[in-house]
Amino acid sequence: HRGSSCYLEGPEAPTREIFQRQHYDNPKTNHGNNYCGAMMHKKCMTNQDPPKTKCKETNTFVHAPKKTIQSICDKGGTPYQGSANLRVSNAPFSVTTCKIKGNSGTHPCEYKANSDTRKIVIGCENGVPTHYDEGIIVPK
Protein backbone atom coordinates (compact mmCIF):
# COMPACT_ATOMS: atom_id res chain seq x y z
CA HIS A 1 0.00 0.00 0.00
CA ARG A 2 1.88 2.97 -1.40
CA GLY A 3 -0.07 5.45 0.73
CA SER A 4 1.42 3.99 3.89
CA SER A 5 3.25 6.36 6.23
CA CYS A 6 6.08 3.83 6.06
CA TYR A 7 7.01 5.32 2.68
CA LEU A 8 7.26 8.88 3.94
CA GLU A 9 10.88 8.51 4.94
CA GLY A 10 13.33 7.07 2.49
CA PRO A 11 16.77 5.68 3.25
CA GLU A 12 18.06 9.25 3.26
CA ALA A 13 15.68 10.27 6.07
CA PRO A 14 17.46 12.07 8.89
CA THR A 15 18.35 9.68 11.70
CA ARG A 16 16.61 11.99 14.20
CA GLU A 17 13.29 11.41 12.37
CA ILE A 18 13.83 7.65 12.38
CA PHE A 19 14.69 7.83 16.11
CA GLN A 20 11.45 9.67 16.84
CA ARG A 21 9.36 7.25 14.77
CA GLN A 22 10.90 4.16 16.31
CA HIS A 23 11.32 5.22 19.94
CA TYR A 24 9.00 8.10 20.85
CA ASP A 25 5.52 7.44 22.29
CA ASN A 26 4.30 10.08 24.72
CA PRO A 27 1.89 9.87 26.31
CA LYS A 28 1.89 6.10 26.03
CA THR A 29 -0.63 5.01 23.41
CA ASN A 30 -3.38 2.82 24.85
CA HIS A 31 -3.49 -0.45 22.91
CA GLY A 32 -4.28 -2.63 25.92
CA ASN A 33 -2.71 -6.09 25.78
CA ASN A 34 -1.65 -5.59 22.15
CA TYR A 35 0.52 -2.51 22.73
CA CYS A 36 3.61 -3.94 21.05
CA GLY A 37 1.83 -5.53 18.10
CA ALA A 38 -0.09 -2.35 17.36
CA MET A 39 2.81 0.04 17.91
CA MET A 40 5.38 -1.97 15.97
CA HIS A 41 2.98 -2.09 13.01
CA LYS A 42 2.00 1.59 13.35
CA LYS A 43 5.68 2.57 13.50
CA CYS A 44 6.56 0.45 10.43
CA MET A 45 8.74 -2.22 12.05
CA THR A 46 6.92 -5.44 11.12
CA ASN A 47 7.03 -7.71 8.08
CA GLN A 48 3.58 -6.42 7.10
CA ASP A 49 5.05 -3.00 6.37
CA PRO A 50 6.97 -1.93 3.26
CA PRO A 51 9.50 -3.10 2.26
CA LYS A 52 8.16 -6.29 3.94
CA THR A 53 11.40 -7.24 5.60
CA LYS A 54 11.76 -9.21 8.81
CA CYS A 55 10.13 -8.04 12.01
CA LYS A 56 12.37 -5.84 14.13
CA GLU A 57 13.39 -8.14 16.97
CA THR A 58 13.57 -5.61 19.82
CA ASN A 59 12.43 -2.03 20.08
CA THR A 60 11.99 0.28 23.05
CA PHE A 61 9.46 3.11 23.22
CA VAL A 62 10.23 6.01 25.55
CA HIS A 63 7.24 7.68 27.21
CA ALA A 64 8.53 11.22 27.78
CA PRO A 65 8.34 14.59 26.03
CA LYS A 66 10.68 15.00 23.04
CA LYS A 67 12.52 17.88 24.74
CA THR A 68 13.15 15.75 27.84
CA ILE A 69 14.61 12.94 25.72
CA GLN A 70 16.66 15.45 23.72
CA SER A 71 18.06 16.92 26.95
CA ILE A 72 20.02 13.66 27.44
CA CYS A 73 22.25 14.96 24.63
CA ASP A 74 23.03 17.96 26.86
CA LYS A 75 22.64 18.53 30.61
CA GLY A 76 20.11 15.70 31.05
CA GLY A 77 22.76 13.06 30.36
CA THR A 78 26.41 12.19 30.74
CA PRO A 79 28.85 10.38 28.42
CA TYR A 80 28.40 6.61 28.63
CA GLN A 81 31.64 4.89 29.63
CA GLY A 82 33.80 7.41 27.80
CA SER A 83 31.93 7.10 24.50
CA ALA A 84 32.13 10.04 22.11
CA ASN A 85 28.43 10.02 21.21
CA LEU A 86 26.62 7.59 23.55
CA ARG A 87 24.99 9.24 26.54
CA VAL A 88 23.19 7.86 29.58
CA SER A 89 20.24 9.73 31.04
CA ASN A 90 20.69 11.26 34.49
CA ALA A 91 17.10 10.36 35.40
CA PRO A 92 15.06 7.21 34.80
CA PHE A 93 12.48 7.15 32.01
CA SER A 94 9.25 5.22 31.61
CA VAL A 95 9.84 2.76 28.75
CA THR A 96 8.15 -0.19 27.07
CA THR A 97 10.40 -2.73 25.38
CA CYS A 98 8.86 -4.95 22.72
CA LYS A 99 10.61 -8.27 22.05
CA ILE A 100 9.72 -10.67 19.26
CA LYS A 101 8.13 -13.97 20.26
CA GLY A 102 9.66 -16.81 18.26
CA ASN A 103 11.11 -16.31 14.77
CA SER A 104 11.44 -12.77 13.39
CA GLY A 105 10.54 -14.00 9.91
CA THR A 106 7.14 -15.42 10.82
CA HIS A 107 3.96 -13.63 9.86
CA PRO A 108 2.40 -11.77 11.51
CA CYS A 109 5.01 -10.54 13.98
CA GLU A 110 4.09 -11.18 17.61
CA TYR A 111 5.65 -9.28 20.48
CA LYS A 112 5.91 -9.45 24.24
CA ALA A 113 5.83 -6.13 26.13
CA ASN A 114 7.95 -5.27 29.15
CA SER A 115 7.32 -1.94 30.88
CA ASP A 116 9.99 -0.48 33.12
CA THR A 117 11.38 2.74 34.54
CA ARG A 118 15.13 3.00 34.00
CA LYS A 119 17.97 5.14 32.76
CA ILE A 120 18.40 4.94 29.00
CA VAL A 121 21.43 5.12 26.68
CA ILE A 122 21.10 7.01 23.42
CA GLY A 123 23.40 8.16 20.66
CA CYS A 124 23.47 11.88 19.88
CA GLU A 125 24.62 13.86 16.87
CA ASN A 126 24.66 17.66 16.88
CA GLY A 127 22.67 17.71 20.13
CA VAL A 128 19.78 15.51 18.98
CA PRO A 129 19.02 11.82 19.65
CA THR A 130 19.78 9.60 16.66
CA HIS A 131 20.11 6.11 18.18
CA TYR A 132 18.61 4.12 21.06
CA ASP A 133 21.02 1.50 22.34
CA GLU A 134 18.88 -1.61 22.94
CA GLY A 135 21.88 -3.60 24.11
CA ILE A 136 22.69 -1.48 27.16
CA ILE A 137 20.54 -1.83 30.27
CA VAL A 138 21.84 0.47 32.99
CA PRO A 139 21.62 -1.06 36.50
CA LYS A 140 19.26 0.82 38.82
Listed residue (132, 103, 102) closest to 119, CA to CA: 132
Catalytic residues: 23, 131
Q: Which residues contact 22 (CB under 8 A, 6 or more apart)?
A: 43, 45, 59, 132
Show Cβ contacts of residue 76 under 8 Å, excluding neighbours closer than 6 positions.
68, 70, 89, 90, 91
